Structure 1
Amino acid sequence: MADETSADINPAPQPNGEDNGPAIGLISQYVKDLSFENPNAPAVYQWQSAPQIDVQFNIGADGVGENLFEVTLKIDVTSKLDEGTAFVIELQYAGLFGVRNVPDDQLQPFFLAEAPRILFPFARRVVADAVRDGGFPPLLLEPIDFHGLFMQQLQERNAAEGEMPAPVGEA
């Protein structure tokens, strides 16, 4: 009897130490595309008005191989003054993620909330350095709550489709 209970308590080891648990790992990260335009140089350095900064974000995820996904954080920044455009920067900063044994319904939340959170600090530095190298004070982008934005978009989409959120617990 002792042998039967010990078999129930201790699961059989996986062959060759195989790990069947879910895992996602960052393999690499890189600047995919970077453009900095300073269309009014050198006159822009004499302008005195305060800049208006417009920042736009977009997130994309694409399968690039078996269990490999590229997540791209696209950041567009335009700085305008009363006199004209100071600078325009377009950055596509990407990360290559390996995925193993993750349910499909968990991939979208990871790619649209967690992956951008991981990539953002590095993309932020690239933007700050490019703006500084263009002759302007470094632009430090504010931190972004990607998870909160993802949840907000999910709620808006569900409301637009007339779906009620799934109940929690038993009623």
Structure 2
Amino acid sequence: MTQAANQPTDEKMPASPGLPLIIHTQYVKDISFENPSAPHSMRQGLPAPKMDLNINLDARNLDDLKLKDLYEVTIKISAKAMRDGEAVFIAEILYGVAVSFQDSVPQDQRHPLLMIEVPRLAFPFVRQIMSDLTQGGGFPALLLGPVDFYAMYMARFGKEDQPLKEAIN
């Protein structure tokens, strides 16, 4: 392989047909697994721990001279397993996605696309990383179910909007 083949380019990857945004890259920004009660927490016959799961989303504009309207969307998933008042494990992932928009995307549709569509596209990757992380920590794989990012957006930012719903579907 030549050195040039290993170098990232600044060119946009072509967007998928019908997708109004371009995904430039996806990456783990931070990852953590704590196993504070090991090896006692892994004994056979113990009751299943109680899970506390939190998902947080954020989006910010990245200053980039070459790419107009470059954004970073982050998905943070925190999973804490508790048994008898003690932490069994704590797993956290902060996952980032760098995206830009097609020129035709109106300003009023950009925020919902960042906070609904980008997390929807990235979630399968985050789910797999969380599953592998907990399994690597000695526990059964944590299998996260589907997440309704539209409902999360509506709960956080406002009421039902039919044109918005049509734009993201």
* Band the TM-score falls in, shorter-chain normalisation: 0.7 to 0.9
Does structure 1 residue 147 correspond to structure 2 residue 150? yes
Superposition pairs of residues 73-92 of structure 1, within 5 angstroms: 73-82=75-84, 84-92=86-94
Q: 1 CA distance for matches of 2:85 and 2:111?
A: 43
C-alpha contact 1:67 1:100 (8 A) present in aligned 2: no
Q: 1 CA distance for matches of 2:157 and 2:98?
A: 24
Instruction: State the 1:69 CA deviation.
Output: 0.7
State the superposition RMSD in angstroms.
Answer: 2.1
C-alpha contact 1:49 1:82 (8 A) present in aligned 2: no
**Residue matched to 2:34:** 37
**Residue matched to 1:112:** 115
Instruction: State the 1:104 CA deviation.
Output: 1.6
For 2:123, give the aligned amino acid: F
**What secondary structure, in the 3-state scheme, does the structure 1 residue paired with 2:144 have?**
coil
**Residue matched to 2:96:** 94
Instruction: State the 1:83 CA deviation.
Output: 5.9
**Residue matched to 1:161:** none
Does structure 1 residue 28 correspond to structure 2 residue 25? yes
Cα shift readout 1:69-118 (whole Å, capped 9, x = no counterpart) = 11000001100111621100110011111223222211110011111101
Q: 1 CA distance for matches of 2:101 and 2:60?
A: 12
For 1:31, give the aligned amino acid: V
TM-score (norm 1): 0.74
Find the partner of 1:54 among 37, 52, 55. Answer: 52
Cα shift readout 1:23-79 (whole Å, capped 9, x = no counterpart) = 411111111110000011111112712210000011011111232111000001100
Q: 1 CA distance for matches of 2:158 and 2:101?
A: 26
Q: 2 CA distance for matches of 1:154 and 1:40?
A: 39
**Residue matched to 1:8:** none
TM-score (norm 2): 0.75
For 2:61, give the aligned amino acid: G
Find the partner of 2:127 among 110, 113, 124. Answer: 124
**What secondary structure, in the 3-state scheme, does the structure 2 residue paired with 1:41 have?**
coil
Give ranges in structure 2 of 5+ residues lacking alignment.
1-18, 163-169
Q: 2 CA distance for matches of 1:49 and 1:23?
A: 47
**Residue matched to 2:74:** 72
